[in-house]
C-alpha cells in the first residue's frame, strides 16, 4: 500500500492565493475525486502534486517522504503520473510512440517500451489505433491515449485532469469503466479532477471539494450530495435542491 | 498481441532511409568519377562536407526543435585539431609556436585527425551543452550564437596556438572523394541510429510537447545534451575533413558564412527528417552549381549564352523564398525517404516503428 498526500499546501501567485492550506490524501486502489467551480485551484493542486508548481507552503509526501524540490520527470520516476486538460499528446508522433515515450523516459529500451506500449493500448481498448498519428485522433480517443501514456510502467498514482470534458453521456460511462479498472485491476491510486460531478460522485470513494483555493467539504459521495456548502459553491444559492451537473449523470 | 515487433524491427523498418540516402551520395560520387574533372571533383567533395555538417546539425536541431546558430563552432574546433595534428612539426613551429611540445611533434594521418576532432568537439559540446541545454526556444538559440562568437573570438586572438586570424597553412590536402563519401555515410548512419534510439524518441517528444514529455519521465536537458554531443562530434569530424579539403584554416572559415548556408540547407530540405537534411544539401548545392555554370556561360554552336553575374545569389534567394512560401516545413516536411511498398503505411520514417 502506498499513499500520496498534500499537507497544508498553499500556493500564492504574486500575493494572490490560489491554494490555501489544502489537505488531501490518496491511497493505492482508491479513487478520490477533486471537484469545484472554475478557478477553484484544482489544476494548481495537480501541478503541485506532480512537481510542475512549487508549493509556497506545505508539503507533498509520497509514503511519508517529502517530494519537495523534485522536477516533474523525477516525480514521474517515483510513480506519480498525470494527464493534462486537452490531452497534450505528442501530436506529430504515432499513438504507439506516444506511449513508448513514457517507457523510454522511465529507462526502458525501445524494444521493451514497444512491447509494453502494445499491451497498454490493448488494455485501454485502442490497440487498432497504434499507427495513427496522434494529432489526427478524435477527442475521445485522444483521452484514452493520454491515459495509456500515463499508465505505462504502472505508476502507483495517476492524476486525471478532466478526462471526461466534452464527452457524451455514453462516452463518459465508458471512461468511468476504464477508471474503475485502473484502481481495481492495476491497484493505482486515482485522483480524478472533473467538472462532471455526477461522474465523480458515481465513481469515487472519497471526494474533496475546492472553492477559491480552500477545501470546503470532504467526505463520501453521499455526504457531498447532501452538503449545503457544495450546493452553494456551485449555485451561488442554497435554495435549489438539485445540482445542475447531477443531471448529466441521469 | 496485435503488433508483434521488436527493437530489431524498428531498425529494419527504417533502415531503407539511410540506405537510400547513402545510395544517393554514392551516385553523386560516381558522377564525379565519370566526369573526371578536377574542379567538379572538388564540388562533389564540398557537397559531401555539407552533408556531414547539415546532418550533424539535424541530429540536434531536427530532433530538439531548438535552432542552433552555434554548431559551426564545433566544426571550427575540429578544423584546428586537423591543423594541430597533421601539419609537419617544422611548419607548426613557425605559425603556432605556442603549441605544447608533444602536440608540436604529433603528426598523424588525416583519418585519425578526423576521429580525434570528433572526440574533441564532442568534449566541448558536453561542456557548453551542460550549461546551454537548460535553456529553451529563442533563448537557447541566442546562447548557441554566443558560443559561436566566443569560439571565434578566442581562436582569432590566441595567436600562439591558432595563429590568430592568419591562415594556418600546410594541412595535407586530400583530393580523393572517397574519404569524404565514407565520412558522409558515417554521419548519415549515425544520425539515423540516434533518431531511432530511445534518446532520439524522447527528444522528439520533448520537441512536440515539453510539458507532457517531462510528465512522462523525460529529463529534457539531458535528452538535449545527448543530441548536442553527438551532433558536436559529427560537426568536429566534418570540420577536420573540411580543413583537409582546402589545406588551410582561419577562424572565419568556420563562422557566419558556413553557419547560414548550412542552416538554409536544413530549413529548405526540411528539418523534420533526416532525408530533409540530406536532400536540402543535394538540391541547393546542385542549384548553386548550375547557376554558377550558367553565369560562366554555355556555348551553343558559336554563341555563348551567359547569365549576368549575381544571378546565382538572386536565384538562390528566390528559390528559397518560394520553397518556404509553398512548403514551410521544407521540401520533405516530416517525411523520410522509404521504399514505395512501405510509403503508404509508413509516412513518418524514423518516427514510426510500425509495419
Work out how many CB contacts closer than 8 A connect A with B. 133
Residue A115 lies in a domain: yes
Residue A18 lies in a domain: no
Taking an 8 Å cut-off on Cβ atoms, the answer to whether B353 and A96 are in contact is yes
- The DSSP-derived string for chain A is --EEEEEEEEEEETTEEEEEEEEEEEETT-EEEEE-STTSSHHHHHHHHTTSS--SEEEEEETTEE-TT--HHHHHHTTEEE--TT----TTSBHHHHHHHHHHHTT--HHHHHHHHHHHHHHTT-GGGTTSBGGGS-HHHHHHHHHHHHHTT--SEEEEESTTTT--HHHHHHHHHHHHHHHHTT--EEEEE-S-HHHHHHH-SEEEEEETTEEEEEE-HHHHHH-HHHHHHHHS-S--SS-TTHHHH-
Q: How far is A119 from chain B (nearest CA, A)?
A: 7
- Supply the pLDDT for residue B352: 40
Residue A23 lies in a domain: no
Instruction: Say whether B298 sits in a helix, a strand or coil.
Output: strand
Q: How far is A200 from chain B (nearest CA, A)?
A: 24
Nearest residue of A to residue B334, measured between CA atoms: A92
By Cβ distance, the residue of A73, A94, A127 closest to B214 is A73
Cβ within 8 Å of B, A 187-246: none
Taking an 8 Å cut-off on Cβ atoms, the answer to whether A150 and B215 are in contact is yes
Mutant choice from A48, A50, A104, A124 vs B, greatest count of B C-beta within 10 A = A104
Considering the domain architecture, whether residues A142 and A250 belong to the same structural domain is answered as no
Residue B44's alpha-carbon distances to A137, A247, B175, B178, in angstroms, are: 45, 72, 11, 10
Considering the domain architecture, whether residues A189 and A247 belong to the same structural domain is answered as no
**Residue range B267-271: mean pLDDT, rounded:** 93
Nearest residue of B to residue A159, measured between CA atoms: B215
Q: How confident is the model at residue B345 (pLDDT cuts 50, 70, 90)?
A: very low
**Residue range A216-232: mean pLDDT, rounded:** 92
Taking an 8 Å cut-off on Cβ atoms, the answer to whether B202 and A149 are in contact is no
Cell of B240: 577536420
A127: chain B residues, CB-CB within 8 Å:
2-3
Mutant choice from A48, A53, A90 vs B, greatest count of B C-beta within 10 A = A90
Nearest residue of B to residue A130, measured between CA atoms: B354
Find out whether B351 and A97 touch, Cβ atoms under 8 Å: yes
Q: Is A130 on the interface with B (CB under 8 A)?
A: yes
B272: chain A residues, CB-CB within 8 Å:
92
Cα–Cα nearest to B239, from B288, B185, B180:
B180
User: Domain map of chain B by residue range?
Assistant: 7-254
pLDDT in tens, B275-309: 999 999 999 999 988 888 888 888 888 888 888 88
By Cβ distance, the residue of A94, A102, A114 closest to B216 is A102
Instruction: Say whether B304 sits in a helix, a strand or coil.
Output: strand
Residue A22 lies in a domain: no
Could you give the ipTM of this predicted complex?
A: 0.92
Cα–Cα nearest to A196, from A33, A65, A9:
A33
Residue A41 lies in a domain: no
Cβ within 8 Å of A, B 184-223: 196-199, 201-202, 204-205, 208-209, 211-220
Instruction: Say whether B299 sits in a helix, a strand or coil.
Output: strand
A132: chain B residues, CB-CB within 8 Å:
none
Considering the domain architecture, whether residues A239 and A124 belong to the same structural domain is answered as no
- Supply the pLDDT for residue A236: 60
Average pLDDT, rounded, for chain A: 92
Cβ within 8 Å of A, B 297-336: 334
Find out whether A25 and A2 touch, Cβ atoms under 8 Å: no
By Cβ distance, the residue of A72, A91, A131 closest to B354 is A131
**Residue range A108-116: mean pLDDT, rounded:** 95
- Supply the pLDDT for residue A238: 41
- Supply the pLDDT for residue B4: 47
Residue B24: pLDDT above 60? yes
CA distance B297 to B304: 6
Q: How confident is the model at residue B355 (pLDDT cuts 50, 70, 90)?
A: very low
Pairing of strands A214-219, A206-211: antiparallel
**Residue range B58-68: mean pLDDT, rounded:** 96
Q: How far apart are the first and last CA of chain A?
A: 35
- Supply the pLDDT for residue B7: 39
Q: Is A128 on the interface with B (CB under 8 A)?
A: yes
Instruction: Say whether B16 sits in a helix, a strand or coil.
Output: helix
Cell of A246: 447531477
Considering the domain architecture, whether residues A53 and A166 belong to the same structural domain is answered as yes
Taking an 8 Å cut-off on Cβ atoms, the answer to whether B354 and A109 are in contact is no
Considering the domain architecture, whether residues A84 and A128 belong to the same structural domain is answered as yes
B348: chain A residues, CB-CB within 8 Å:
92-94, 133
CA distance B171 to B247: 5
Find out whether B110 and B172 touch, Cβ atoms under 8 Å: yes
Q: Within a 13 Å sphere around the CA of A88, how many CA atoms are in the beta-carbon half?
A: 21
pLDDT in tens, B133-148: 999 889 999 999 999 9
Residue A150 lies in a domain: yes
CA distance B217 to A77: 6
Taking an 8 Å cut-off on Cβ atoms, the answer to whether A118 and B5 are in contact is yes
Residue B80: pLDDT above 50? yes
Taking an 8 Å cut-off on Cβ atoms, the answer to whether B2 and A100 are in contact is no
CA distance B233 to B228: 9
pLDDT in tens, B27-55: 999 999 998 888 889 999 999 999 999 99
**Residue range A79-100: mean pLDDT, rounded:** 95
CB contact set of B262 (below 8 Å; sequence gap of 6+): B50, B53, B54, B57, B71, B72
Considering the domain architecture, whether residues A91 and A212 belong to the same structural domain is answered as no
Helix axis angle for A139-151 and A110-123, nearest 10°, is 130
- Supply the pLDDT for residue A188: 97
Lowest-confidence pick of A95-99, A169-173, B55-59, B116-120: A169-173
Lowest-confidence pick of A10-14, A154-158, B232-236: A10-14
Helix axis angle for B178-196 and B274-296, nearest 10°, is 150
Q: Is B5 on the interface with A (CB under 8 A)?
A: yes
Nearest residue of A to residue B7, measured between CA atoms: A111
CA distance B189 to B179: 15
Considering the domain architecture, whether residues A144 and A228 belong to the same structural domain is answered as no
CA distance A249 to A246: 6
Considering the domain architecture, whether residues A93 and A200 belong to the same structural domain is answered as yes
CA distance A53 to A62: 16
Cβ within 8 Å of B, A 46-65: 50, 52
CA distance A234 to A247: 14
- Domain of residue A69, residue span: 3-12+28-33+46-205
CA distance A94 to B10: 13
Considering the domain architecture, whether residues A143 and A216 belong to the same structural domain is answered as no
Lowest-confidence pick of A82-91, A100-109, B332-341: B332-341
- Supply the pLDDT for residue B343: 44
Please state, as a whole number, how many other Cβ atoms lie within 10 Å of the Cβ of residue B339: 12
Q: Is A108 on the interface with B (CB under 8 A)?
A: yes
Residue B217: pLDDT above 60? yes
Q: How far is B202 from chain A (nearest CA, A)?
A: 6
Considering the domain architecture, whether residues A52 and A157 belong to the same structural domain is answered as yes
- Supply the pLDDT for residue B306: 84
**Residue range B333-354: mean pLDDT, rounded:** 58
- B84's enclosing H/E stretch is helix B71-86
pLDDT in tens, B224-253: 999 999 999 999 999 999 999 999 999 999
At residue A186, φ and ψ (nearest 5 deg) are -95, -15
B353: chain A residues, CB-CB within 8 Å:
96-97, 100, 110, 114
pLDDT in tens, B190-204: 999 999 999 999 999
Please state, as a whole number, how many other Cβ atoms lie within 10 Å of the Cβ of residue B336: 28
**Residue range A37-66: mean pLDDT, rounded:** 95
Nearest residue of A to residue B220, measured between CA atoms: A73
A92: chain B residues, CB-CB within 8 Å:
204, 208, 272, 334, 348, 351
Residue A106: pLDDT above 60? yes
Is the pLDDT higher at B131 or at A247? B131
At residue B186, φ and ψ (nearest 5 deg) are -60, -45
Find out whether B173 and B246 touch, Cβ atoms under 8 Å: yes
- Supply the pLDDT for residue B348: 43
CATH number of domain containing A145: 3.40.50.300
Instruction: Say whether B15 sits in a helix, a strand or coil.
Output: coil
Share of chain B above pLDDT 70, in %: 93
Considering the domain architecture, whether residues A103 and A223 belong to the same structural domain is answered as no
Cell of A179: 477508471
Question: What burial class does residue B246 get, using C-beta atoms within 10 Å of its C-beta: 0-12 exposed, 13-18 middle, 19+ buried?
Answer: middle
Considering the domain architecture, whether residues A100 and A222 belong to the same structural domain is answered as no
CA distance A213 to A10: 8
Residue B152: pLDDT above 60? yes
Residue B14: pLDDT above 60? yes
Residue A21 lies in a domain: no
- Supply the pLDDT for residue A75: 98
Q: Is B351 on the interface with A (CB under 8 A)?
A: yes
- Supply the pLDDT for residue A14: 87
Amino acid at each position: 500500500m502506498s499513499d500520496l498526500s498534500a499537507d497544508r499546501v498553499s500556493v500564492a501567485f504574486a500575493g494572490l492565493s490560489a491554494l490555501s492550506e489544502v489537505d488531501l490524501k490518496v491511497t493505492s486502489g482508491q479513487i478520490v475525486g477533486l471537484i469545484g467551480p472554475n478557478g477553484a485551484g484544482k489544476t494548481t493542486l495537480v501541478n503541485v502534486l506532480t512537481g510542475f508548481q512549487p508549493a509556497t507552503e506545505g508539503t507533498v509526501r509520497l509514503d511519508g517522504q517529502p517530494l519537495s524540490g523534485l522536477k516533474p520527470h523525477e516525480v514521474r520516476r517515483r510513480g506519480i503520473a498525470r494527464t493534462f486538460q486537452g490531452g497534450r499528446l505528442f501530436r506529430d508522433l504515432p499513438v504507439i510512440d506516444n506511449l513508448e515515450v513514457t517507457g523510454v523516459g522511465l529507462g526502458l529500451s525501445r524494444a521493451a517500451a514497444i512491447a509494453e506500449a502494445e499491451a497498454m493500448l490493448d488494455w485501454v481498448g485502442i490497440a487498432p489505433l497504434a499507427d495513427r498519428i496522434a494529432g489526427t485522433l478524435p477527442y475521445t480517443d485522444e483521452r484514452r491515449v493520454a491515459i495509456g501514456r500515463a499508465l505505462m510502467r504502472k505508476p502507483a498514482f495517476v492524476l486525471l485532469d478532466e478526462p471526461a470534458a466534452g464527452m457524451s453521456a455514453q462516452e463518459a460511462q465508458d471512461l468511468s469503466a476504464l477508471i474503475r479498472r485502473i484502481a481495481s485491476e492495476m491497484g493505482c491510486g486515482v485522483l480524478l479532477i472533473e467538472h462532471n460531478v455526477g461522474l465523480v460522485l458515481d465513481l469515487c470513494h472519497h471526494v474533496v471539494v475546492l472553492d477559491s483555493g480552500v477545501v470546503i467539504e470532504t467526505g463520501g459521495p453521499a455526504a457531498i450530495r447532501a452538503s449545503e456548502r457544495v450546493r452553494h459553491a456551485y449555485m451561488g444559492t442554497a435554495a435549489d435542491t438539485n445540482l445542475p451537473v447531477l443531471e448529466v449523470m441521469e | 498481441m496485435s503488433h508483434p515487433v521488436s527493437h530489431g524491427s524498428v531498425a529494419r523498418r527504417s533502415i531503407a532511409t539511410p540506405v537510400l540516402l547513402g545510395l544517393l551520395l554514392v551516385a553523386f560520387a560516381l558522377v564525379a568519377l565519370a566526369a573526371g574533372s578536377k574542379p567538379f571533383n572538388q564540388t562533389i567533395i564540398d557537397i559531401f562536407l555539407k552533408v556531414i555538417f547539415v546532418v550533424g546539425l539535424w541530429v540536434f536541431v531536427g530532433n530538439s526543435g531548438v535552432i542552433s546558430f552555434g554548431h559551426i563552432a564545433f566544426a571550427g574546433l575540429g578544423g584546428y585539431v586537423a591543423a594541430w595534428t597533421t601539419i609537419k612539426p617544422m611548419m607548426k613551429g613557425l605559425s603556432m609556436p605556442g603549441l605544447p611540445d608533444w602536440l608540436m611533434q604529433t603528426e598523424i594521418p588525416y583519418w585519425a585527425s578526423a576521429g580525434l576532432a570528433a572526440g574533441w568537439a564532442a568534449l566541448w559540446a558536453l561542456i557548453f551543452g551542460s550549461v546551454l541545454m537548460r535553456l529553451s526556444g529563442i533563448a537557447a538559440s541566442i546562447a548557441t550564437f554566443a558560443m559561436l562568437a566566443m569560439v571565434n573570438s578566442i581562436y582569432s586572438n590566441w595567436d600562439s596556438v591558432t595563429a590568430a586570424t592568419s591562415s594556418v597553412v600546410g594541412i595535407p590536402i586530400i583530393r580523393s572523394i572517397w574519404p569524404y563519401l565514407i565520412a558522409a555515410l558515417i554521419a548519415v548512419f549515425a544520425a539515423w541510429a540516434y533518431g531511432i534510439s530511445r534518446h532520439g524518441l524522447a527528444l522528439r517528444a520533448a520537441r512536440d510537447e515539453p510539458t507532457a514529455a517531462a510528465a512522462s519521465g523525460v529529463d529534457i536537458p539531458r535528452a538535449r545534451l545527448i543530441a548536442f554531443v553527438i551532433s558536436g562530434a559529427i560537426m568536429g569530424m566534418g570540420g577536420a575533413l573540411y580543413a583537409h579539403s582546402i589545406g588551410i584554416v582561419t577562424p572565419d572559415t568556420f563562422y557566419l558564412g558556413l553557419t547560414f548556408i548550412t542552416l538554409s540547407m536544413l530549413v529548405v530540405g526540411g528539418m523534420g527528417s533526416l532525408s530533409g537534411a540530406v536532400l536540402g544539401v543535394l538540391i541547393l548545392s546542385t542549384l548553386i552549381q548550375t547557376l554558377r555554370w550558367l553565369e560562366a556561360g554555355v556555348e551553343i554552336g558559336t554563341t555563348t549564352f551567359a547569365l549576368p553575374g549575381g544571378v546565382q545569389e538572386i536565384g538562390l534567394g528566390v528559390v528559397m523564398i518560394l520553397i518556404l512560401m509553398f512548403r514551410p516545413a521544407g521540401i520533405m516536411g516530416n517525411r523520410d525517404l522509404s521504399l514505395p511498398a512501405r510509403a503508404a503505411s509508413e509516412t513518418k520514417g524514423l518516427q514510426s516503428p510500425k509495419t
